[in-house]
Amino acid sequence: MSLTLIITFIALLGSLYVFCPSSAELPWFEHPAKPDGSLSFLVVGDWGRRGAYNQTKVAHQMGIVGEKLKIDFIISTGDNFYDDGLTGVDDAAFFESFVNIYTAPSLAKQWYNVLGNHDYRGDVEAQLSPVLRDIDSRWLCLRSFIVNAEIAEFIFVDTTPFVNKYFTDPEDHVYDWNGIQPRKSYLANLLKDVDSALKESTAKWKIVVGHHTIKSSGHHGNTHELNLQLLPILQENEVDLYINGHDHCLERISSTESGIQFLTSGGGSKAWKGDIDWWNPKEDKFYYDGQGFMSVQITPTEVDVAFYDIFGNVDNQKSQTILDHQPINMGMQIPFKKLMLLHIIFIACLRLSAAELQRFEHRLKHDGSLSFLVVGDWGRRGSYNQSLVAYQMGLIGEKLEIDFVISTGDNFYEDGLTGEEDPAFLDSFTSIYTAPSLQKQWYNVLGNHDYRGDVEAQLSPVLTRKDSRWLCSRSFILDAEIAEFVFVDTTPFVDEYFEDPGDSTYDWRGVYRRKEYLSDLLKDVDGALKNSKAKWKIVVGHHTIKSAGHHGVTKELLLRLLPILEENNVDMYVNGHDHCLQHISSNGIEFLTSGGGSKAWRGDRNWWSPEELKLYYDGQGFMSVKMTRSEAVVLFYDVHGNILHKWSIPKEPLKAA
């Protein structure tokens, strides 16, 4: 495109963005973030089929989600018009596949479009022409360009000319290569421009968008040329996301060799190709061989990616199926709980460390000690003495000046949360644990009851926005200097939930390759414990390993997790699941059950060796731990705040090396 054309183009663009000449050659647009600094947008690809192949349904759902997320713009990953692009600026397909399809008010935003290989089979210049923008002011399509949206910088890359086979073996297709000749220097200049744009960018998040895949287990697979030429530039410049279409699916691959997430949103219309290739399950986080689209929400500290299919009840805006949902945290310190002052406030959330588990940091008190409460099996809107337990936690929390609270899961009864908007979150959490001393970080794992609802809702940053104490992740590491906590997602270990779920429906999204999920998790737990240099090693899960209660031992954990705890000299295993308070001391590991957050008094207790069983209390209550470098003191309390049991564990001072 000639410079004059660009300038004419820009003149037509209105007030949303400004063309800024930069030292890089790529046209540059600015899109302001929301007043709170955040940004949200949808991504759709491979769509223009005059509404056919569910294009209209995808568009409808985009409208609903777009409204909900108050999106700032839409990105199209190309293949905008099938089969052969546009025939010219007057091609009716522009109306039939774009203007008349994406009609929802929330989609009346700027569309940033790149070209796909199908677009190159028509009149490419037509799609780039300002005439289309006169027809529909949302339309902006350029070969390669930059959108600066304050916290994020987007580099849109024209990927089609990279692919050799379109040149050497075009079959029956005719490509419109006007404007990219000579190809070699076109590509070399483009790569140089992308590299310098990334190097110059000071944005928190760097996002590259193209039509073709870099990594994909779909029909087209990896694009060899981009792997060789573009990927090294993305890696060198620590790009956070590469977003593409081309494969007609929704897909997320999390690279193990760099921090890049590869996100495919190519489900805008025709899909269901049915040919998925194998991909390393460590990287392959999500694959959906059907229609849909993606949303991205960005804050300075987090990128939240969700994929949606075409379903969703028009009457109920909450009911879109979210297929995959992944908050990706920025490698920086997050002032998690800004309201709280004093010594507790510091949490760092590092993304993708050597071990795969997310890692958080929590500072010690100035005197080098750490104290926290543990409660489990609680969310019942205050009933079954939940409020009484909460009240006593507030008193003890104050006395011990606790640093945080651990929840051992079964956070919401009976069936987890129905979604991010479920009022149970307020009724069972925010409005219950109201004491000032409990206004600390809560580290939560999921229980089996949580898996019976919308699991992703409990993991969602939306809850953290509602109550900044909330942090729930499937498995993660908490590094509190003298102590390292490894939180383990134990529910997927239990065969019964898969083989004999009874009337319960479990939400196994994210766990659907169960075997790999579990073996990866065990490997990560083992790696985290081996790497830990902390004095105290504590593992937290929902399910029991050793218990004389109603559920008893969890045989899958006994077989698979316990050997790892023993090998790594773990000091404590902390769990819930059995609705009681219990302490079993066995082979140097303290097994501590704190599952008395609400309903209890089951009355069915099994025999356990009195040598090992130090406490069994078949009622409501909670646990506190206070630790220093040389000692940990564990206390159990009932609903009246009476101390039921006290146990202190000495730690030998490390011998001089």
Ligand X SMILES: *[C@@H]1O[C@H](CO)[C@@H](O)[C@H](O)[C@H]1NC(C)=O
Task: Give the residues lining the site for ligand X (CB under 6 A).
Answer: 53-54, 271-272, 290-291, 310, 384-385, 601, 619-620, 639
- Angle 236-237-241 from CA coordinates, rounded to 5°: 110
Tell me, letter by letter, the H, E, C secondary structure of 26-94.
CCEEECCCCCCCCEEEEEECCCCCCCCCCHHHHHHHHHHHHHHCCCCEEEECCCCCCCCCCCCCCCCHH
In sequence order, what are the residues at sequence separation of 6 or more whose Cβ sits closer than 8 angstroms to the Cβ of residue 314?
60, 64
Taking the C-alpha atoms of residue 319 and residue 245, their distance in angstroms, rounded to an integer, is 25
Identify whether the C-beta of residue 379 lies closer than 8 Å to the C-beta of residue 457: no
Q: How far is the CB of 22 from ligand X (least distance, A)?
A: 42
Q: How far is the CB of 127 from ligand X (least distance, A)?
A: 25
Which of residues 222 and 291 has its CB atom nearest to ligand X in the complex? 291
Single-letter code of the amino acid located at 238: E
Which of residues 122 and 597 has its CB atom nearest to ligand X in the complex? 597
Identify the CA nearest to 407 among candidates 427, 384, 429, 381: 429
- Angle 143-149-151 from CA coordinates, rounded to 5°: 130
Taking the C-alpha atoms of residue 315 and residue 144, their distance in angstroms, rounded to an integer, is 40
Distances (CA, A) of 302 to 37, 72, 609: 12, 17, 48
Q: Is the dihedral of CA 71, 77, 80, 83 positive or negative?
A: negative
Taking the C-alpha atoms of residue 379 and residue 65, their distance in angstroms, rounded to an integer, is 29
What CA dihedral angle connects 586, 591, 592 and 596, to 10 degrees? Answer: -110
Identify whether the C-beta of residue 585 lies closer than 8 Å to the C-beta of residue 350: no
Taking the C-alpha atoms of residue 605 and residue 609, their distance in angstroms, rounded to an integer, is 13
Identify whether the C-beta of residue 198 lies closer than 8 Å to the C-beta of residue 260: no
Taking the C-alpha atoms of residue 294 and residue 375, their distance in angstroms, rounded to an integer, is 36
**Given strand 476-480, what is the order of strands in its sheet?**
332-335, 346-350, 358-361, 476-480, 483-488, 536-541, 572-575, 589-594, 581-586, 613-617
Q: How far is the CB of 272 from ligand X (least distance, A)?
A: 6
In sequence order, what are the residues at sequence separation of 6 or more whose Cβ sits closer than 8 angstroms to the Cβ of residue 607?
548
- Tallying the residues shown for the chain, one arrives at 657
Taking the C-alpha atoms of residue 24 and residue 31, their distance in angstroms, rounded to an integer, is 18
Q: Does the annotation mark 220 as catalytic?
A: yes
Backbone Cα Rg of the chain: 27
Q: Out of 60, 220, 362, 551, which one is annotated catalytic?
A: 220
Paired residues of 372 in beta bridges: 404, 625
Which of residues 385 and 458 has its CB atom nearest to ligand X in the complex? 385
Q: Residue 283 corresponds to which tokens in the numbers above? A: 């990287």
Indicate the SS3 state at residue 252: strand
Would you give the distance in Å from CA 484 to the centre of its chain?
23
Residue 99 DSSP label: I
Tell me which H or E stretch contains 386. Answer: helix 386-400
Q: How far is the CB of 33 from ligand X (least distance, A)?
A: 34
Catalytic residue numbers? 220
